[in-house]
Structure 1
Amino acid sequence: MTTPGVSATTVASVRRALKKGGTTDRSAAMLLLLGTVIAIAWANSPWGSSYEAFWETEVEITIGTFSAHLTLHQLVNDGLMAFFFFIVGLEVKREFTIGELTDRSRAAVPVIAAIAGLILPALIFLLLNANTGQADAWGVVISTDTAFLLGALAIIGPKFPARLRTFLLTLAVVDDIGALVVIAVFYNNGLQVVPLAIVAVLLVLLALVRFLPAGRGPAYTVLGFALWLAVAAAGVHPTLAGVAVALLIPVFPPRRTEVERAAELTRAFRESPNTAYARAATRSLRDSISINERLQSAWAPYIDFIVLPIFALANAGVRLDPETLGAAVSSPITWGIVAGLVVGKFVGITGATALVRMLRIGRLAPGLTMPRIAGGAALSGIGFTIALFIVGLAIEDEETQDLARVGVLAASVISFALGWAIFVVGDRLRPPVPIGKVLVRPFDPERDHYRGRPDAPFQITEYGDFECPFCSRATGSIDAVIDHFGDDVRWVWRHLPLETVHSHAKEAAQAYEAAALQGKFLEMARTLFANQDDLTTDDLFEYARQLDLDMERFAADLRSPAVIRRVEDDQLDAEMMDLHSTPTFFIGGKRHMGPWDSRTLIRALEASRPAPEPEREPRSDATG
């Protein structure tokens, strides 16, 4: 069932667009790599001198009496990269507000691993460069290139990478925060008091923009550009203005009132098409999504496919002549960068993850094994973008910059090869366990919703979809199974909304979870199955009223990060087990294949009963 007025083809195309993250990652990484290759080829061609000459071309920016003189290289690194850091800031704000980092226990492992992956590389670099006069360049080795990291993961293509990708994204956000702090604190040009005061005023004005009734976009643009100029004048790298603007832009999950308002205006436009309704519906649809998410969606493709490749083209053009390579082989700064990125990232992230698990400070999601973490840690040594960026900030001598760039490029190649070996060769030497035969997440009475007693000897786990008619019919089978076994059976429900065919299934699953937070998951489940053709947002709220739920709490929980993650966790478990249909049952911890009528399920449960231990004959104590 789809939204009225929206074709199934349109809905399917939107969903395909939302699911093509791996393809986008691969394309962005390949374009970044292409920019790198072109830069290196250009710098080492017979026309190599034109590479430096081109990027040193002066550009003059004049606004009234104000004028600024920049080279093309500075325009890229100080100007275009401000947009890159803007997107980084938006992602950081979103993750801390409604994303992975809102759940501190869930984020503990990648956060601690990221911190170790920041500190250990810097220590290794300092150890190798303490007496070289280049110790200040330790910031080059701290950061992971998120675009290359995700692109490399997509290129290698390990099976079912969703959980690993989420882990690495969380790690990369913390990594980016660390890099931004380092750039702001350690790589400034000396702070100027008056421009800093102007920066403070502009930040206050930016924070107040959200309260404007209209014109927020132009206001952010004008104040953001003014902040960029003020930050540069204050002695801080101007790219950090992009981060500051991003952190002051609000982010929130879609609010029910705005969503309903957008639906009303869309219906009005369908009934009476005119420009007034069209403008109002467009504005209402736009306002139902936070500015943060709209900007990420709008700007991320330009950053991935234009800004970063141009940055690579402007910064990766290191001369690889025999003299430079010979100097790099014996250069402590080159080896410090290689060791810091390759060894420091790998050992820091893998070791910290193992330690956190051992101390039980946090735990990995199902399917995230230590070999998977090790492969991701190896790829984290690809420190391309911010590493090259800090090279220009930390090192003044051009020849030394070339040696550092050789180290960054070498570390990126080695890290990719190491990650590939861990993922591909490791799987060949130790084939993964067959997928889908065993339940990946054991029963957890603190997490799972179930009927029966938690210590029941029999367990049946169902992955289902509230819009699936077969799941509705299976409810009767489950009732018969429970009648047969009584308290000796435990039924566990987990979500597998088939979004490509059931447009309301995921929100129905969220309604179930929101009801569960008020102790009425079973009542909501029965109501949803009884009304499978009516599962719109309005319908879900009506069912909540019928169940006497606290409506304000239900509305807040329905689209809360915790509820969405809960449903998506079950979806990721199902993906790892290669489940594609509903209902899917597990008897005990093993996949049930075949019919799911009550008699078949009862026989399967009885067959899963552990065989009793044979009685031992009493031992004779006679001595004869």
Structure 2
Amino acid sequence: MSLMTETKLEKKLAKALEPFQQFIQTQTFSSKLLIVFTALSLIIANSLWAEEFSQITAVTLGFSVNGAIAGMSLLHWVNDGLMALFFFLLGMEIKREILVGEMSTPANLIPVLAAAIGGMVFPAIIFYLFNLDSPYVDGWGIPMATDTAFAVGILMLLGARVPPAAYAFLTGLAIIDDLGAILVIAVFYTDTLHWAYLGASLVAFAVLVAINYCGGRNPVYYAVFGILVWAMMLNSGVHATVAGILVAATVPARPKRDSGWLIKRLLTLTKRFDKIEQERNAQTPILASEEQHKIVKHVKTATDKATTPLYRWEIALEKPISLFVLPVFALLNAGILINADRLGGLVSNPLAQGIFFGLFVGKGLGIPLFAWLSIKCNWGVLPAGLTMRHVVGIGLLGGIGFTMSIFITTLGFGQDIESINIAKAAILFTSLLCGFSAWFWLKFFTGKVDATAVR
């Protein structure tokens, strides 16, 4: 009986698509896609279609109840809705890193944590000093966060020039940075609290905690009550994306069955499948074997029981978030009108100065300095293969604020379009400079990676 069921056409098509599929699976593709949509947003903002595009983003989407429209503009659906999914994914990454990742052991966690604190405190202080007596002082949270997609994408462009530990260090750093930015959003970018809605959101959150505690793993439960947490948070005054982090914290991180059970179960199912396969007529298609299809379903159920929802849901959301949510956010938010007067005014504008020096100097200095201090004080060690020269480059990568920085800009300045445009221009320029500087430093000033090096 033939073991191959693919047709010749399917084989040729699979071979032709393989390079494309491998390319899509890389972090560099996500970064490049983000760059393309950012460029497209800038082109539209500086074209004859700018006004029409703005009107499209302002279209209200929702439903009508007794003649009253309940809904939000397309822009708000993206910033308050789709971005909540991004924060949900981010929250699951945070939980996984704390439980089993680089941040699960104190010796490795402390330098990353120290670097992240330095990468938040220094930029905020620098921005505040530049804008102490200006109307832009509320934007101090803008240079605090790091855009993980862009930063990791640049690391991947360097290939073997950087050790594997650099990815873990940068990812942990970016996750803590983003968590700090989320706390800033929740505490400092909330104007008025509506306690009834906030209370309802926390009740729905408590239900999710109870479901987790009782062993519930059905994604429908988490989807239904997760949407309730988000909807109530949306009306509470706290930014709705915070709901993504809260719901992520309740996602089960324990498998229902252990690996021993899985091995026994798969052996049993495999024997049953093989027995039917031996008895099946070679001319009878497997499609006609209802029993074999049932066994395959049982295999899927068994593997789901032996893996954690935290792992499965994170994997399931990674590509939709990186290939759809973040590019759409960039398309709707990165566009600014570029002209000589605006670019010339950035040099002397305190908002632009605060963002530039906050991201480039604050991150570039704060991250390696605090990591170095934690090591000198014997509080922790760098992972194997990672040196302080690498951490300097990672500090420059931390200055790529982009997604989170633009997001906080829209919260900090609300309807002040001119301030938003100034901030976006400064974020884009500084992120580009930080990305190039980090690539240059890591390529020419860190030396070749020694795979056997252990610190």
TM-score bin, normalised by smaller chain: 0.7 to 0.9
Which residue number in structure 1 is paired with residue 418 of structure 2?
A: 399
Mapped to 1, the partners of 2:264 and 2:193 lie a distance apart of: 48
Which residue number in structure 2 is paired with residue 39 of structure 1?
A: 41
1:346 aligns with 2:349: no
Which residue number in structure 1 is paired with residue 334 of structure 2?
A: 316
Mean CA deviation greater in 71-80 or 59-68: 59-68
Q: 2:444 aligns with which of 418, 425, 431?
A: 425
Residue-pair matches, total: 422
Q: 2:151 aligns with which of 128, 149, 152?
A: 149
Shift of 1:134: 1.4
Shift of 1:417: 1.6
Shift of 1:66: 8.6
Q: 1:337 aligns with which of 352, 355, 361?
A: 355
Contact 1:121 1:344 in 2 (8 A): yes
Using a 3 Å threshold, how does the CA distance of structure 1 residues 41 and 164 change in structure 2: closer, same or farther? same
Using a 3 Å threshold, how does the CA distance of structure 1 residues 247 and 258 change in structure 2: closer, same or farther? farther
Contact 2:161 2:448 in 1 (8 A): no
CA displacement 1:100-125 (0-9 Å, x = unmatched): 22211221111111111011100000
CA displacement 1:513-571 (0-9 Å, x = unmatched): xxxxxxxxxxxxxxxxxxxxxxxxxxxxxxxxxxxxxxxxxxxxxxxxxxxxxxxxxxx
Which residue number in structure 2 is paired with residue 260 of structure 1?
A: 263
Shift of 1:424: 2.1
Using a 3 Å threshold, how does the CA distance of structure 1 residues 45 and 258 change in structure 2: closer, same or farther? farther
Shift of 1:211: 6.1
Where does 1:434-453 land on structure 2 (aligned, <5 Å)?
435=450, 440-441=453-454
The runs of 5 or more residues in structure 1 that have no matched partner are 7-12, 443-624
Contact 1:86 1:246 in 2 (8 A): yes
SS in structure 2 of the partner of residue 69 of structure 1? strand
Contact 2:23 2:29 in 1 (8 A): no
Contact 2:162 2:390 in 1 (8 A): no
CA displacement 1:416-474 (0-9 Å, x = unmatched): 121022112325xxx548x46xx5237xxxxxxxxxxxxxxxxxxxxxxxxxxxxxxxx
Which residue number in structure 2 is paired with residue 96 of structure 1?
A: 98
Using a 3 Å threshold, how does the CA distance of structure 1 residues 274 and 156 change in structure 2: closer, same or farther? closer
CA displacement 1:387-425 (0-9 Å, x = unmatched): 110111001310011000011101101101210221123
Higher-Rg structure is: 1
Which residue number in structure 1 is paired with residue 275 of structure 2?
A: 271
Q: TM-score, normalised by structure 2?
A: 0.87
Mapped to 2, the partners of 1:23 and 1:220 lie a distance apart of: 27
Contact 2:148 2:171 in 1 (8 A): yes
Mapped to 1, the partners of 2:254 and 2:64 lie a distance apart of: 38
Using a 3 Å threshold, how does the CA distance of structure 1 residues 265 and 294 change in structure 2: closer, same or farther? farther
Mapped to 2, the partners of 1:134 and 1:284 lie a distance apart of: 55
SS in structure 2 of the partner of residue 50 of structure 1? helix
Mapped to 1, the partners of 2:135 and 2:245 lie a distance apart of: 31
Which residue number in structure 2 is paired with residue 56 of structure 1?
A: 58
Structure 1 counterpart of 2:166, one-letter code: L
Mapped to 1, the partners of 2:25 and 2:219 lie a distance apart of: 31
Which residue number in structure 1 is paired with residue 298 of structure 2?
A: 280
Identity of aligned residues (%): 31
Contact 1:90 1:296 in 2 (8 A): yes
SS in structure 1 of the partner of residue 26 of structure 2? helix
Which residue number in structure 2 is paired with residue 570 of structure 1?
A: none
Which fold has the larger relative contact order, with Cα–Cα distance below 8 Å and residues 6 or more apart in sequence? 2
Using a 3 Å threshold, how does the CA distance of structure 1 residues 264 and 31 change in structure 2: closer, same or farther? same
Structure 2 counterpart of 1:247, one-letter code: A
SS in structure 1 of the partner of residue 161 of structure 2? coil
Structure 1 counterpart of 2:402, one-letter code: F
Mapped to 2, the partners of 1:168 and 1:75 lie a distance apart of: 30
Using a 3 Å threshold, how does the CA distance of structure 1 residues 414 and 72 change in structure 2: closer, same or farther? same
1:230 aligns with 2:232: yes
Shift of 1:158: 4.8
Mapped to 2, the partners of 1:58 and 1:66 lie a distance apart of: 13
Using a 3 Å threshold, how does the CA distance of structure 1 residues 398 and 140 change in structure 2: closer, same or farther? same
Bigger fraction of residues in helix: 2
SS in structure 1 of the partner of residue 72 of structure 2? strand
CA displacement 1:226-251 (0-9 Å, x = unmatched): 11110011111111111111111111
Mapped to 1, the partners of 2:217 and 2:69 lie a distance apart of: 27
Which residue number in structure 2 is paired with residue 617 of structure 1?
A: none
Contact 2:110 2:379 in 1 (8 A): yes
Which residue number in structure 2 is paired with residue 105 of structure 1?
A: 107
1:360 aligns with 2:392: no
SS in structure 2 of the partner of residue 89 of structure 1? helix
CA RMSD of superposed structures (Å):
2.6
Structure 1 counterpart of 2:229, one-letter code: L
Q: TM-score, normalised by structure 1?
A: 0.64
Contact 2:163 2:385 in 1 (8 A): no
Shift of 1:195: 1.2
Using a 3 Å threshold, how does the CA distance of structure 1 residues 83 and 77 change in structure 2: closer, same or farther? same
The runs of 5 or more residues in structure 2 that have no matched partner are 5-14, 277-290
CA displacement 1:115-154 (0-9 Å, x = unmatched): 1101110000000001002111111110000111101111
SS in structure 2 of the partner of residue 274 of structure 1? helix
